[in-house]
């Protein structure tokens, strides 16, 4: 997968890749005219920090989009002044005989519509789809706490799009109010990546502060031999929903998604999400986290044997809020992208006894099960067998 970006104007592009999709985003209000500007097409992964608010897209099978008649994307002096066009290609065979000169046509009018619209993205950012499954479901909830924080007033949905890749089979977006589903935004039971369905919602559907938005995706991995994770490549997967909503001024963020069970709204906006100060935790010289590293360094050896004293220290360190449950998994996920500094070493120390501790848990579980059922423990069973053999030998002699 490769993605290219071009700012300032929507020019033609020519690269040796297979084209998949376009997306348009605009520069932050805090960015100067020259910041984030590219003199020509350049690799940009999934966008840039300065230019990350999506407002338009095209994908394989799409005939184009028209906005709701009472809402539009404001451009010009009081709206978007600079845009970035991102183009996604996929070339798994690494062929060099493909070229592309595609582009997009944007239609605009000087006649302003009553409301300014934006695109809201919801969904699950972490996927782990086992191979060989006829059906595997993943879900995410933009919670009532999230919408209370992100909405300053009601917003109305006028258009929606489900988005998965080639393992996707079904997807739905639901609005839940007071623990009850009040409406489906989308409910696609025959999803196809190559034939996207842009759902027009008329009359518009309202989301209120305190509502929940639930995303459910169903995948089929019957022909897969390996686990499929979330990612930007078409051989990876996604579970996202895009909704065009208005008025824009009632929405403080363009994303309300989750990573496993964690709210990204909390992770990105709270100082101590789920009791974990992520900034301080990644700074291993911080007085709150430095002792954790020192304990591990004094009792564990990375990439080596598991020391008995290390097990107890690891158990203690893992009680920290930043290393518990899904927060701990998120920290490890983030840390896996770091290639220098103290944190890779911290992880290697923390995980140096993983296999041995898992074995200990399994033995303890088996022992507990046998004791609760009144059966003989494996170790005692072995002792009895040895005793029986010894008695038998004595009698034979």
Q: Which pLDDT score, from 0 to 100, does residue 182 have?
A: 97
Please report which confidence band the pLDDT of residue 180 belongs to, taking 50, 70 and 90 as the band edges: very high
Look at residue 377 and tell me whether its pLDDT is greater than 60.
no
Integer Cα distance of 260 and 124 in angstroms: 7
pLDDT digits (tens, 9 = 90+) for 312-364: 999 999 999 999 999 999 999 988 877 667 888 899 999 999 988 888 888 87
Top mean-pLDDT range of 22-26, 42-46, 117-121:
117-121
Residue 229: closest CA among 373, 138, 114, 127: 127
Which two structure tokens, joined as six digits, stand for 348?
């290697």
Q: What pLDDT, in 10s, does the model give residues 57-93?
A: 777 767 777 777 888 888 888 787 777 777 777 777 8
Give the model's pLDDT for residue 82. 78
Integer Cα distance of 186 and 197 in angstroms: 9
Question: How much is the pLDDT for 21?
Answer: 55
Lookup: tokens for 337: 């992208």
Domains of the chain: 1-116 (no CATH), 120-269 (2.60.120.230), 273-355 (no CATH)
pLDDT tens profile 152-170: 999 999 999 999 999 999 9
> Are 270 and 263 a contacting pair, CB within 8 Å?
no
How many other CB atoms are there within 10 angstroms of residue 323's CB atom? Answer: 18
Q: Chain-wide mean pLDDT for the chain?
A: 82
Q: What is the mean pLDDT of residues 291-304?
A: 91
pLDDT at 266: 97
- Going by pLDDT thresholds of 50, 70 and 90, the confidence category of residue 96 is confident
Query: What does the block give as tokens for 250?
Result: 């009632």
Give the model's pLDDT for residue 166: 94
Q: What is the pLDDT of residue 293?
A: 93
CB 159 within 8 A of CB 201: yes
Q: Are 152 and 249 in contact (CB under 8 A)?
A: yes
Q: What are the residue ranges of helices labelled H in the chain?
A: 144-150, 264-269, 278-282, 290-299, 308-317, 325-335, 343-350, 354-373, 378-396
The percent of residues in the chain predicted with pLDDT above 70, rounded, is 80
Distance of CA 349 to the CA centre of its chain: 27
Query: How many whole angstroms separate alpha carbon 209 and alpha carbon 250?
Result: 10
For 156, list phi and psi in degrees, rounded to 5: -120, 135
Strand partners, 263: 258
Residue-wise pLDDT tens digits, 214-246: 999 999 999 999 999 998 888 899 999 999 999
Q: What does the pLDDT read at residue 374?
A: 63
- SS3 readout for 317-340: HCCCHHHCHHHHHHHHHHHCCCCC
pLDDT on residue 205: 97
Which pLDDT does position 17 carry in this prediction? 35
The residue ranking higher by pLDDT, 55 or 301, is 301
pLDDT digits (tens, 9 = 90+) for 136-153: 999 999 999 999 999 999
Residues 9-40 pLDDT 10s:
333 333 333 444 556 555 545 545 555 566 66
CB burial readout 263-298, b (16+ within 10 A) else e: bbbbbeeeeebbebbbeebbbbeeeebeebbebbee
pLDDT, residue 76, reads 81
Q: Are 20 and 89 in contact (CB under 8 A)?
A: yes
For 172, counting Cβ atoms within 10 Å of its Cβ (0-12 exposed, 13-18 middle, 19+ buried), the class is buried
């Amino acid at each position: 997968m490769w993605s290219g970006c071009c700012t300032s104007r929507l020019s033609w592009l020519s690269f040796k890749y297979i084209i998949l999709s376009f997306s348009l985003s605009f520069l932050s209000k805090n960015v100067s005219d020259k910041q984030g500007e590219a003199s020509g097409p350049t690799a940009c992964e999934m966008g840039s920090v300065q230019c990350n608010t999506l407002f338009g897209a095209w994908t394989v099978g799409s005939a184009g989009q028209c906005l709701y008649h009472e809402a539009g994307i404001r451009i010009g002096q009081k709206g978007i002044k600079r845009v970035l066009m991102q183009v996604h290609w996929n070339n798994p065979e690494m062929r060099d005989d493909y070229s592309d000169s595609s582009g997009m046509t944007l239609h605009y009018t000087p006649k302003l519509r009553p409301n300014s619209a934006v695109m809201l993205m919801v969904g699950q950012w972490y996927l782990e789809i086992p191979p060989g499954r006829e059906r595997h479901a993943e879900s995410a909830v933009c919670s009532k706490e999230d919408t209370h924080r992100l909405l300053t007033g009601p917003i109305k949905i006028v258009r929606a799009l489900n988005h998965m890749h080639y393992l996707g089979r079904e997807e739905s977006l639901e609005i839940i109010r007071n623990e009850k589903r009040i409406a489906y935004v989308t409910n696609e039971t025959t999803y196809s990546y190559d034939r996207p369905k842009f759902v027009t919602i008329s009359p518009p559907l309202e989301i209120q502060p305190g509502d929940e938005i639930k995303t459910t995706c169903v995948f089929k991995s019957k022909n897969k031999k390996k686990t499929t994770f979330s990612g930007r490549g078409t051989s990876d997967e996604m579970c996202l929903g895009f909704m065009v909503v208005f008025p824009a001024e009632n929405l403080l963020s363009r994303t309300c998604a989750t990573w496993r069970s964690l709210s990204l709204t909390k992770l990105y906006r709270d100082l101590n999400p789920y009791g974990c100060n992520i900034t301080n935790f990644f700074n291993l010289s911080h007085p709150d986290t430095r002792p954790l590293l020192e304990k591990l360094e004094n009792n564990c050896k990375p990439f080596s044997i598991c020391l008995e004293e290390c097990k107890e220290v690891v158990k203690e360190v893992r009680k920290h809020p930043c290393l518990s449950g899904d927060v701990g998994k998120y920290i490890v996920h983030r840390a896996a992208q770091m290639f220098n500094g103290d944190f890779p070493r911290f992880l290697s120390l923390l995980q140096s006894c993983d296999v041995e501790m898992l074995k200990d848990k399994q033995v303890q579980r088996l022992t507990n099960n046998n004791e609760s059922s009144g059966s003989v423990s494996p170790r005692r069973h072995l002792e009895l067998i040895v005793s029986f053999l010894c008695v038998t030998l004595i009698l034979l002699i």
